[in-house]
Chain A
Amino acid sequence: MEFKDYYKILGVEPDANLKAIKTAYRKLARKYHPDVSEHKDAENKFKEVAEAFAALKDTEKRAEYDELRKYGQHGQRFEPPPGWQPSSNQGGDYSDFFESIFGSAEPRGAQTHRETYFSFRGQDIETELPIFLEETLSDNNKTISYQLPHYDTDGRRLADVKKTLNVKIPKGVSEGERIRLKGQGGPGTGDGQNGDLYLHIRLVPHPLFDVEGHNLIITIPIAPWEAILGTKVEVPTLSGSINLTLPPNSQTGKRLRIKNKGLISKTGMGDLYAVLKIVIPEKTDEDSRQLWETLSEKTVFNPRSEWRKA
């Protein structure tokens, strides 16, 4: 296992007082707390910070840790010196390193009162489940793999066990939704129930469609003459393409509603909105250029008329 330098993790000096340690913890907790942080590794970062704080905020634990710190360096392999007795610890989801020093969480690590009978509910596990937009339109079978914590009879944490489930994801799931699989989380202790597994639904960004609630938005690039003259466009939707008629004089930014081609919601189908975007050819040959020139001479149009109102 790797040695963790808790002072380094919190960014404090080894002789920092409790107040400085608390301040450092709170600052990092605000930065990495999974409930407020957008950092991609927030959860692991926060776990590390919380663990460092759990070790250093308690005078006794800190003294034990300081003693051990003489034998290890951050990031390097570490084994506690022979004869080291882990003290008992008050719970929490900590690393092997932490548990090798302070023992694993009670009641699992009930080394001091092994005969006592405990019953505790297993740990809830939450895992993100990426779903493609197309998949939300019908029930889908997904294979899900996740790591379950595993303990020996003395409560020592062993290597995690990989668990694989085949799950039916119902149609109409939405971003951020959580699906609960009862009893599929960490095993309970004694008569304690198993924890639950929560699948946190994440919609995978689509190359064409943007999600707005239960509606979808697609941007349709059109040529200037299509915008002026009107045209028919074959528009892709999540379920096959449809033909859309663009009326003459269609402006950039105009939204056209295509009913019932959005995502499934509890109140029915959402809609697909087509947003127009006028694009021009990258290069213009001489013939076209002359046509545009004629057009510009013959058309009375001030594209910046809005500015005059300002």
Chain B
Amino acid sequence: MIETSLTVELTLQEICEIVDVPTEVLITIVEEGILEPKGASPNEWCFDTYMLSIVKCASRLHRDFDIEWTSIPLYLDMIDELEKLRTENKTLKQQLGRFLLE
């Protein structure tokens, strides 16, 4: 049996190693408030797996669409918004469906 933990904590260095993202870019993503790792300074930052998935997304956007690193925070913000709206839309449609007849 493999034990899993939801409280995985990754350092700035570990994240940059796993995902091919320059350190400065990751720092900007945090400075722009898109990720909020625990810890006061970059050396103390702790990221969880959700944050890791966002950094991976950043890396894919840069690679697959040639998006400049400086524009990445804006795209991440918009994708996050899109996800939220899609989830909300799905929930609302499902609820509405229980009231409407075919």
Complex Cα distance A178/B87, Å? 17
Complex Cα distance A180/B98, Å? 36
Q: A35-B61, A199-B4, A210-B95 are in contact. List 9 more A-B contacts (CB 8 A).
A: A35-B57, A35-B60, A168-B2, A177-B6, A181-B2, A196-B18, A198-B49, A198-B53, A210-B94
Q: Known A121-B17, A178-B50, A180-B8; judge A219-B2 contact (CB<8 A).
A: no
Query: Nearest residue in B to A184 (C-beta to C-beta)?
Result: B2
Complex Cα distance A217/B3, Å? 32
- Please state if A168 and B95 are interface contacts (CB–CB under 8 Å): no
Q: Known A178-B52, A210-B95; judge A169-B4 contact (CB<8 A).
A: yes
Interface residue? A167 (CB, 8 A) = yes
Interface residue? A274 (CB, 8 A) = no
A–B pairs, 28, beta carbons within 8 Å = A30-B65, A33-B65, A35-B60, A46-B64, A121-B18, A124-B18, A165-B2, A166-B2, A167-B1, A168-B4, A169-B4, A170-B6, A173-B6, A175-B87, A176-B83, A177-B49, A178-B50, A179-B49, A180-B4, A180-B8, A180-B52, A184-B2, A198-B53, A205-B94, A210-B94, A217-B95, A219-B99, A275-B95
Q: Interface digits, B5-31 against A, CB 8 Å rule (1 contact, 0 not)?
A: 110100000000110000000000000
- B64-85 at interface with A (beta carbon < 8 Å): 64-65, 79, 82-83
Interface residue? B86 (CB, 8 A) = yes
Interface residues of A (CB under 8 A from B): 26, 29-30, 33-36, 38, 46, 50, 121, 124, 141, 165-170, 172-173, 175-182, 184, 196, 198-199, 205, 210-212, 217, 219, 275, 277
- Please state if A36 and B82 are interface contacts (CB–CB under 8 Å): yes
Q: Known A36-B82, A121-B17; judge A179-B91 contact (CB<8 A).
A: no
Pick the contact of A35: B4, B79, B87, B94 (CB < 8 A): B79
B contact residues around A176 at 8 Å (CB): 83
- Please state if B65 and A29 are interface contacts (CB–CB under 8 Å): yes
A contact residues around B64 at 8 Å (CB): 29, 33, 46, 50
- Please state if A179 and B4 are interface contacts (CB–CB under 8 Å): yes
Interface residues of B (CB under 8 A from A): 1-6, 8, 17-18, 49-50, 52-53, 57, 60-61, 64-65, 79, 82-83, 86-87, 91, 94-95, 98-99
Query: Nearest residue in B to A200 (C-beta to C-beta)?
Result: B53
A contact residues around B57 at 8 Å (CB): 35
Complex Cα distance A30/B52, Å? 22
**Residue among A29, A35, A36, A176 facing the most chain B CB atoms (10 A cut-off):** A35
**Residue among B1, B49, B83 facing the most chain A CB atoms (10 A cut-off):** B49
Smallest CB separation, A39 vs chain B (Å)? 13
Smallest CB separation, A168 vs chain B (Å)? 6
- Please state if B49 and A168 are interface contacts (CB–CB under 8 Å): no
Query: Nearest residue in A to B3 (C-beta to C-beta)?
Result: A168
Q: Known A36-B79, A36-B82; judge A181-B4 contact (CB<8 A).
A: yes
